[in-house]
């Protein structure tokens, strides 16, 4: 169950689209036990059938609304822990203890897909499922040349706050000055848009390499090197980011080191999110080195969490926040484009009226 205490002001407007594939869980999290997870203001129950297929259904019994996750899995069926109604993987009621035959009731089930490291879920309009981009395959976690680590945090903040955080890396020199020690992201990145994808890119040509990067590459901190930091808003559900390192003597060569991240954010509700993150690199990838890398990232992401939760906490407490507004600068360009992309995504969910 979600562990963050509920403090949200439910009057807060929804700013996430339903018609989108979202990350529900890591694939290995879903097995033959019952996983309950709130996603898009919806209680969802996840498990695998004996054949290994993932099932996602509303975690609420249609009899008297007990969470089905408090019941038990019997073969491939869920038995509600309150009065023992059973439901099959399709959601259909198969058995009621006080009846000879099951009544024609069912619990809602949702489409799921396994793609890359994740189980993706679609909680939107079934008629529109083919209109939205399919789950995105990140690719590199399955590449054996990468060491990979992952994490999952429940953050008490609207998911957009994290999107904007990872699209504007100028915060690294402040929020993460000690943990990451990367303080040279002092100019706005180049931002490009294509369809609904927003991409930023920042090149550091013949610049001193921050210590963390240099040591992992087996070089002295401050060595003059080329690096490129770039990332994309792929969909409301996912962002990816990268750092490539190149020898300045061979600027057009293949990177001599690559770091990759993915940031999958799924709203729990309007003021909380699941943050599924993955990190990988193709150098310093032995277990000890990767453990250290993952530990530093965990510290850094906890620093982000503290800032984002503080922002959300003020937003929750002060409905007049909008009166002071926000002032954007050039470094916010990627985040502003992402907001617009999400606005368009949500507008496509609305059925046009004659007047529109
Ligand atoms: S609430 Fe589930 S069987 Fe009654
Ligand atoms: Fe950060």
Residue with more model confidence, 355 or 76: 76
Ligand 1 geometric centre to CA of 74 (Å) = 16
251 burial via Cβ count (<10 Å: 0-12, 13-18, 19+): exposed
pTM attached to this predicted model: 0.93
Ligand 2 geometric centre to CA of 299 (Å) = 10
3-state secondary structure of 213: helix
Q: Pick the atom of ligand 1 nearest to 71's CA.
A: 2
Q: Which helix (H) or strand (E) covers residue 118, if one does?
A: strand 118-122
Q: Which ligand is closest in space to the CA of residue 166?
A: 2
Name the residues around ion ligand 2, CB cutoff 5 A: 304
pLDDT tens, residue by residue, 111-168: 999 999 999 999 999 999 999 999 999 999 999 999 999 999 999 999 999 999 999 9
Q: What angle do CA 156, 159, 160 make, to 5 degrees?
A: 130
Confidence band (pLDDT; 50, 70, 90) for 8? Answer: very low
| Beta partners for residue 261, in sequence order | 241, 279
Nearest CA to ligand 1 atom 1: 64
CB atoms within 10 A of CB 330: 11
Residue with more model confidence, 126 or 351: 126
Query: What's the CA gap between 278 and 148, in Å, rounded?
Result: 7
Ligand 1 geometric centre to CA of 84 (Å) = 6
Q: To test ligand 1's pocket by mutation, which of 34, 43, 61 has the most ligand atoms within 8 angstroms of CB?
A: 61
- What are the structural domains of the chain? 21-123 (2.102.10.10), 143-347 (3.90.380.10)
pLDDT at 10: 47
Query: How far lies 324's CA from each of 110, 231, 327, in Å?
Result: 40, 30, 9
pLDDT at 353: 56
pLDDT tens, residue by residue, 168-180: 999 999 999 999 9
64 lines ligand 1 (CB under 6 A): yes
Query: How far lies 57's CA from each of 122, 123, 272, in Å?
Result: 11, 10, 21
66 lines ligand 1 (CB under 6 A): yes
* Residue carrying structure tokens 């979202």: 22
Ligand 2 geometric centre to CA of 104 (Å) = 50
Ligand 1 geometric centre to CA of 19 (Å) = 30
Among 201, 133, 143, which Cα is nearest to 169's? 201
Q: Which helix (H) or strand (E) covers residue 143, if one does?
A: none
Query: What's the CA gap between 146 and 161, in Å, rounded?
Result: 29
pLDDT at 355: 46
Confidence band (pLDDT; 50, 70, 90) for 319? Answer: low
Q: Pick the atom of ligand 1 nearest to 83's CA.
A: 3
DSSP secondary structure string, 18-75?
SSSEEEEEEGGG-SSS-EEEEETTEEEEEEE-TTS-EEEEESS-TTT---GGGSEEET
Sign of CA dihedral 27, 7, 346, 331: negative
pLDDT tens, residue by residue, 258-298: 999 999 999 999 999 999 999 999 999 999 999 999 999 99
pLDDT tens, residue by residue, 193-211: 998 999 999 999 999 999 9
Please state the separation of Cα 294 from the chain's center in Å.
17
**What tokens were used for 300?**
């850094």
Ligand 1 geometric centre to CA of 268 (Å) = 24
Q: Which ligand is closest in space to the CA of residue 59?
A: 1
């Amino acid at each position: 169950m979600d562990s963050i205490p509920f403090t949200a002001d439910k009057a807060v407007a929804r700013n996430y689209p339903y018609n989108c594939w979202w990350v529900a869980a890591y694939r290995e999290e879903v097995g033959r036990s019952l996983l309950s997870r709130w996603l898009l203001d919806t209680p969802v129950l996840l498990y695998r059938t004996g054949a290994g297929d993932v099932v996602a259904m509303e975690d609420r019994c249609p009899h008297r609304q007990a969470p089905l996750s408090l019941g038990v899995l019997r073969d491939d069926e869920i038995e509600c822990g309150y009065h023992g109604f059973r439901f099959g993987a399709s959601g259909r009621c198969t058995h009621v203890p006080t009846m000879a035959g099951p009544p024609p009731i069912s619990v809602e089930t949702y489409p799921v897909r396994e793609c890359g490291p994740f189980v993706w879920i679609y909680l939107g309009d079934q008629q529109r499922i083919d209109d939205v981009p399919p789950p995105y395959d990140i690719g590199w976690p399955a590449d054996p040349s990468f060491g990979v680590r992952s994490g999952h945090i429940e953050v008490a903040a609207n998911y957009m706050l994290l999107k904007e955080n990872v699209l504007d890396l100028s915060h690294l020199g402040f929020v993460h000055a000690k943990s990451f020690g990367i303080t040279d992201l002092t100019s706005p990145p180049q931002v490009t848009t294509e369809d609904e994808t927003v991409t930023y890119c920042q090149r550091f040509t013949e610049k001193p390499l921050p210590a963390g990067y240099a040591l992992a590459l087996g070089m002295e901190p401050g060595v003059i090197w080329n690096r490129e930091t770039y990332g994309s808003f792929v969909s409301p559900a996912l962002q990816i980011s990268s750092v490539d390192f190149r020898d300045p003597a061979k600027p057009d060569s293949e990177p001599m080191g690559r770091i990759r991240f993915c940031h999958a954010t799924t709203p729990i509700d309007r003021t909380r999110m699941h943050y599924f993150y993955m990190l990988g690199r193709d150098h310093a990838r032995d277990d000890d080195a990767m453990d250290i890398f993952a530990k530093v990232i965990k510290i850094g992401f906890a620093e982000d969490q503290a800032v984002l939760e503080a922002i959300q906490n003020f937003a929750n407490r002060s409905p007049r926040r909008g009166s002071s507004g926000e002032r954007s600068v050039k470094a916010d360009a990627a985040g502003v484009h992402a907001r617009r992309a999400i606005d368009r995504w949500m507008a496509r969910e609305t059925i046009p009226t004659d007047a529109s």
